[in-house]
């Protein structure tokens, strides 16, 4: 059962794609027990031999695609936070201790 649960938690809750750019949204839990979302980015590629893969590196030509997936992922997280029964922290905002 634990193995099944671990496999499930390793999947993103949502993935957004635009062209070669992708953004995956993950629900994580801090050591203190707080849940939060974060985003990972990838770029799909295929070489002339047909081999395909993913990279975490981007080209300047991916700018618009990246902007689109960043916006979509952030909008998704904001919507999830607004509709959540429990508060999910926003790691981009300073905590009370950091703001002081």
The tens digit of pLDDT for each residue in 19-30 reads: 999 999 999 999
Domain that holds residue 39: 11-91
Q: Could you tell me if residue 39 is inside a domain?
A: yes
What is the per-residue pLDDT for 92? 56
Say whether pLDDT at 98 is over 70. no
Residue 5, class by beta-carbon neighbours within 10 Å (0-12 exposed, 13-18 middle, 19+ buried)? exposed
Total tally of structural domains belonging to the chain:
1
**In the chain, alpha helices (H):** 2-9, 63-83, 96-99
pTM: 0.73
The tens digit of pLDDT for each residue in 28-71 reads: 999 999 999 999 999 999 999 999 999 999 999 999 999 999 99
Q: Could you tell me if residue 41 is inside a domain?
A: yes
């Amino acid at each position: 059962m634990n193995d099944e649960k671990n496999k499930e938690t390793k999947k993103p809750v949502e993935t957004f794609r635009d062209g070669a750019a992708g953004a995956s949204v993950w629900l994580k839990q801090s050591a203190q027990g707080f849940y939060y979302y974060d985003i990972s980015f990838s770029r799909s590629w295929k070489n002339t031999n047909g081999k395909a893969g993913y990279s975490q590196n981007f080209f300047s030509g991916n700018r618009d695609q990246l902007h689109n997936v960043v916006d979509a992922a952030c909008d998704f997280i904001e919507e999830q936070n607004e509709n959540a029964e429990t508060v999910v922290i926003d790691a981009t905002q300073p905590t009370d201790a950091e703001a002081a």
